[in-house]
Amino acid sequence: MSPAMHPDPDSEEAALERRVAELEQALKASEESLAIERLKLQQTEAALLQMAALFGNAPVSLILMGDDGRITDLNAEAERAFRCRREAVLGRPLEDVIDPVDREEARRLIAECLEGAVQRGVERLLWPGRACGLEDSTLMFPIRNAAGEVVGAAMTEDLTEIKDSRSLLATVNRELRQLAVLDGLTGLVNRRSYERVLSREVRRAARSREPMTVAMIDVDEFKAFNDTLGHAAGDAVLRAVADVLRGAAQRAGDVVARYGGEEFVAVLPGVDAEGAARIGERMRSEVEQLAVPRDDDDSAVVTISVGLATWVPYRDSAPPKIVEAADRALYQAKDEGRNRVVVVDLGRDGPARSLGADAGSSKHEAS
């Protein structure tokens, strides 16, 4: 038999190893993608809970409808005003639960409202056989989300209690827009809003020649914590850490945001390297003092690592990559053992401190 008829064992083995490596890489990518999607789902669920609280506690009758005009929700005030049970009307077209005399008029009003029109002087909309007391002053108006899309309609039973209907509309829509700039889980500013704040503060610092600091904060070994104690415990930790960070950066102008996952970021206008070290150490120590067990046997507590970068503008100086510098400082804090604070002073020769629970000294870090 010729050599060409015998496969090369080494070649087959190498090809198999390459294939295994490719499959492992694909599996890792799939796991990372799944983790991202899981996080997005958690954030969406938290935002929906916030929306539900706003909706349920509104002091006016609120009814939400889908694009097909079917009732998707109504709040307690609407149940009281219309003398109906929520469960009895969910999923039904609003026009079907209006008194037959008014259905044609209701159909027109609803269609126009869902297209964005504000309806004033609504004559009367009655549940079958039950007067709900709505008078000529009744107002129906669209509720919009942050993107400007109509997501429902609101009706008030007596505008004598509301001096300015446009003020009510502005209040409701302002609350809805606020939900679009906040992180649903922690209540902190979300990443998109933080990026706008950062851009604004960099420009302001350049004009005023005043220092500014950016902090990157990461919950140490959070994935292991989540895997051991579960996502509910992980969410509780993220909320607790967010509360500490919010309390540590509470001056006017300070902004703390959730950057993504277990990572947070803070923009601290007017803060120099010395101030950054104090704020970062307060964040670190107060999270440690929460004494949240990191595993089942209480052998360790949840901690954070903090990287801060400070920039003092000089004449004709260009804004540095301050976020990247803070991120490098964060990685340095983790490399040095976690539960630490590293401060980098950009463009200045001077000490940048590396602090931790066991650190009694500081060292220089210049960029």
Using CA of residue 77, residue 82, residue 88, residue 94, what is the dihedral sign?
negative
Predicted pLDDT of residue 59: 65
Pair 155, 284 in one domain: no
CA distance 97 to 313: 65
Predicted pLDDT of residue 265: 96
Pair 69, 174 in one domain: yes
- The 10 Å CB-count burial string (b at 16+, else e) for 297-329 is eeeebbbbbbbbbbbbbeeeeeeeebbebbbbb
What one-letter code names the amino acid at 27? Answer: L
Predicted pLDDT of residue 138: 60
Predicted pLDDT of residue 6: 55
Range(s) of the domain holding residue 176: 54-181
Identify the active-site residue in 262, 263, 281, 365: 262
Cα distances (angstroms) measured from residue 21 to each of 24, 26, 28, 32: 5, 9, 11, 17
Domain stop point among 143, 159, 181: 181
Residue 116: phi and psi, rounded to 5, are 115, 0
Pair 335, 199 in one domain: yes
Pair 118, 211 in one domain: no
Domain stop point among 181, 199, 219: 181
Catalytic residue status for 262: yes
Q: Is residue 4 part of a domain?
A: no
If the chain, 367 residues long, is cut into consecutive pieces of 10 residues, what is the mean pLDDT of each piece?
Answer: 55 80 80 75 69 67 70 76 75 71 73 79 48 50 73 59 51 55 84 85 82 95 87 91 91 86 93 93 95 77 95 64 92 94 75 46 38
Pair 135, 238 in one domain: no
Pair 166, 225 in one domain: no
What one-letter code names the amino acid at 34? Answer: L
Q: Which domain CATH number covers 61? A: 3.30.450.20
Pair 328, 198 in one domain: yes
Number of domains in the chain: 2
Q: Is residue 323 part of a domain?
A: yes
Cα distances (angstroms) measured from residue 213 to each of 29, 268, 281, 308, 356: 34, 5, 14, 7, 19
Residue pair 194/257 in contact (Cβ under 8 Å)? The answer is: yes
Pair 296, 352 in one domain: yes
Q: Report the Cα–Cα distance between both ends of the chain, in Å, rounded.
A: 68
Q: Is residue 220 part of a domain?
A: yes
Predicted pLDDT of residue 314: 67
Q: Which domain CATH number covers 207? A: 3.30.70.270
* Best CA proximity match to 277, nearest among 307, 314, 305: 307
Domain stop point among 181, 215, 248: 181
Pair 58, 129 in one domain: yes
